[in-house]
Amino acid sequence: MSDDISDILLRWEYRPDELLVRIIVGDDGHQRLQLRLDLGLLQMECDGRPDGERPEGFESWLDFYEHEQRRYEETNTDGTDYLLGAEDCARLFREGVQYYHRYVGFWHLDMYDLCARDTSRNLRLFEFVRKHAADDRIKLQFDHWRPYVIMMNTRAKAMPLLKDSEFGQGLRQIEAGIDAIREFLDEYDQSDRADECAELVSLEHWRNEIIERNQQATAARPKSAAEILRRKLDEAVAAEEFEEAARLRDEIRRLQSPP
């Protein structure tokens, strides 16, 4: 079998202004995600670590280091902290980039549950490094991506709800994402620059857009007989037409009474 992938690339034209991503079925019957690049393509497993590796027998380096941290704390009861070294963090960062490529691909394929899964995983990575990295500069290398990943995680969780017309639940997810980014800004004393945070502005704009669309849809919805009578009742009371108001109240009660 030839190692040349020219035929694949010729059949999948690269377009620089588009994110080109697709799901293929491998020779082993398993689905894989492919991302077209100018000089080739990336191929990723859809589950586990994107490159399919199992470091030290674990699903990922993050899982391995979390295991090591728990084992350390079980055997060191003197209160000393478990610390990640520079090489540990370099492994974790490279691994996090793999998950980034995959969740962006899932997002563009509308595979929101898998995008939410991988963004949640990288948020877990950031929290682990914040707690255990020995160098504050390394912590920031990871954590400055937190608002972006929160935004993507929020969108991936909210989008299916909104598509199913679950506007209340979808808006609650968006509000939770907005609050999480504001907490990030508070942690770094950047609350006064909230209007410069593109991820926060994006989620707030999306929230406001959804609220406005929902209000317009509600206003355009055909009114029931009771709703029409209540509007007329309000108008009659405002005009001090009390006899008409009394008649309308009686009509509303009649409609609401059981047959």
In DSSP notation, 190-247 reads: -GGGGGG-HHHHHHHHHHHHHHHHHHHHHHHSPPPHHHHHHHHHHHHHHTT-HHHHHH
The total domain count for the chain is 2
CA distance 49 to 99: 8
Range of the domain at 252: 225-256
The DSSP symbol for 259 reads -
pTM of the model: 0.82
Per-residue pLDDT averaged across 107-127, rounded?
Answer: 98
Instruction: Mark whether 114 and 242 lie in a shared domain.
Output: no
CA distance 203 to 174: 7
What is the CATH classification number for the domain harbouring 100?
1.25.40
Closest CA to 84 of 75, 76, 92: 92
Average pLDDT, the chain: 91
Three-state DSSP at 3 gives coil
Structure-token match 């991302």, residue found? 35
Instruction: Mark whether 171 and 246 lie in a shared domain.
Output: no
On whether residue 53 sits in a domain, the answer given is: yes
Identify any residues that bridge with 133 across adjacent strands, giving them in sequence order.
Answer: 84
Of 33-47, 174-188, 214-228, least confident by mean pLDDT is 214-228
Q: Is the per-residue pLDDT at 221 higher than 60? A: no
On whether residue 27 sits in a domain, the answer given is: no
CA distance 128 to 107: 24
Counting residues of the chain whose pLDDT is more than 70, the rounded percentage is 93
- pLDDT reported for residue 233: 79
On whether residue 7 sits in a domain, the answer given is: no
Of 12-16, 61-65, 71-75, 164-168, least confident by mean pLDDT is 164-168
On whether residue 115 sits in a domain, the answer given is: yes
Instruction: Mark whether 88 and 125 lie in a shared domain.
Output: yes
Closest CA to 132 of 92, 180, 190, 181: 92
